[in-house]
């Protein structure tokens, strides 16, 4: 790389995530384009700054099988907590995994549900809609 590019890379590396997001927006406005992910190394700061427009905003939360026997009670409690189902219904879901827990929830809620179930010992998959 030329010294000019090395200098530019060094300056960009010193930007905060917020400044990277502002830079991304300014370049999109100036050039009349939308930023796209070029590769994992080049896009990591921009992707962390702002979610691309193609990212899903609604997710399906799926309980994957199998749930270990020693974790079933905790997972059943977590399923009841996030779904509001009764004991029998929650038990049926856990024992019948893979099963959908929630059909269409915002990303933040889907991540929270995933965290609760994972902490209880379940394996969870989030699928964008």
Which domain does 24 fall in, by range?
3-49
Domain co-membership, 64 together with 122 = yes
* pTM, 2 dp: 0.55
Name the nearest CA neighbour of 8 among 23, 18, 21. Answer: 23
Q: pLDDT per position in the chain (129 positions), as tens? A: 688 888 888 888 887 777 877 888 888 788 877 766 544 444 444 444 444 444 678 889 999 888 888 999 999 999 999 989 899 999 999 998 898 998 888 888 989 999 999 999 999 998 887
Whole-number pLDDT of residue 14: 84
Domain co-membership, 72 together with 122 = yes
Tell me, what DSSP letter sits at residue 82? Answer: H
Domain co-membership, 63 together with 98 = yes
Domain co-membership, 25 together with 65 = no
Domain co-membership, 43 together with 68 = no
Domain co-membership, 37 together with 69 = no
Task: List the CATH number of the domain containing 74.
Answer: 3.30.1390.10
Whole-number pLDDT of residue 35: 65
Domain co-membership, 68 together with 33 = no
């Amino acid at each position: 790389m030329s010294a000019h590019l090395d200098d530019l890379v060094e300056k960009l590396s010193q930007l905060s995530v917020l400044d990277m997001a502002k830079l991304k927006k300014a370049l999109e406005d100036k050039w009349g384009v939308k930023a796209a992910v070029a590769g994992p190394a080049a896009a990591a700061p921009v992707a962390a700054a702002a979610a691309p427009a193609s990212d899903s905003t609604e997710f399906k939360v799926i309980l994957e099988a199998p749930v270990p026997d020693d974790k079933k009670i905790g997972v059943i409690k977590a399923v009841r907590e996030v779904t509001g189902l009764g004991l029998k219904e929650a038990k049926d879901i856990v024992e019948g995994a893979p099963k959908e827990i929630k059909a269409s929830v915002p990303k933040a809620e889907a991540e929270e549900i995933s965290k609760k179930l994972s902490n209880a010992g379940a394996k969870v998959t989030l699928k964008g809609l």
